[in-house]
Amino acid sequence: MAKNEPIRLQKFISQCGVASRRKAEELILGGHVKINGKTAILGDKVTAADKVFVKGKRLVMPKAHYRYIMLNKPRGFITTMSDDRGRKCVAELVKDVGERVYPIGRLDKDSEGMLVLTNDGDFANKVMHPKNGVYKIYRVTVRPSIDEEQLIKLETGVELDGKKTAPARVHVLHKEQGRVVLEMMLHEGKNREIRRMCDAVGLEVARLKRTQIGCVKMGMLKQGDWRDLTEIEVKKLLASPIVNGKPI
């Protein structure tokens, strides 16, 4: 629990391993619980900063076991943990993690590549928040070709839903007849943004793969596999590498 995030007292007692929530309610109703020296009542909420005693013994919340997972998402999977329409979800790919994790941001069904999942809400919010501008790098195959004018439009911004997209960095990795491979760096997270940007300048996206988030690269992780992020990688994702308002 975050230090300033209040939760119901009976939930706190249960998470400390003292009793079930139902039994915790009985302890509260029986006057056996105190918060900061005052007898608690049912409905009270506490934060990690509060001093909670049950029958004279102070409770200490166990340290949360946070997980930070990198997944190489294949095409055909939606970025959600469940789906009432029976579609394949990324939850199937991380069911052996041992913790309940959820994705930070999204990759659409037809896209692939690096996806980060966690059970740390504070970490997820920091990585996703626009003000932190954590950039993402994509390898994008487009058809049929690309000219200088299209490149400039993608880099300077394309109007989507009445608003211009933020400046991006785009350069050509490989070019052949009827097919071009681009590397695109963005620090926004609009729905299907790259596909819509390319469509707006007359390009068809044949393949889209995220290869990097912030300073953390996916590397040689096999498609459909996951691994824990290292402590250094977690710190890198929180570093928000921005120079003069643009991703480095």
Q: Tell me the catalytic residues.
A: 108
**Spatial separation of the C-alpha atoms in residues 218 and 60, rounded to whole Å:** 38
* Three-class secondary structure assignment of the chain: CCCCCCEEHHHHHHHCCCCCHHHHHHHHHCCCEEECCEECCCCCEECCCCCEEECCEECCCCCCCCCEEEEEECCCCECCCCCCCCCCEHHHHCCCCCCCCEEECCCCCCCEEEEEEECCHHHHHHHHCHHHCCCEEEEEEEECCCCHHHHHHHHHCCEECCEECCCCEEEEEEEECCEEEEEEEECCCCCCHHHHHHHHCCCEEEEEEEEEECCEECCCCCCCCEEECCHHHHHHHHCCCEECCEEC
Query: Which two tokens mark 181?
Result: 């491979």
**Spatial separation of the C-alpha atoms in residues 90 and 70, rounded to whole Å:** 12
**Spatial separation of the C-alpha atoms in residues 221 and 204, rounded to whole Å:** 27
Residue type present at position 149: E
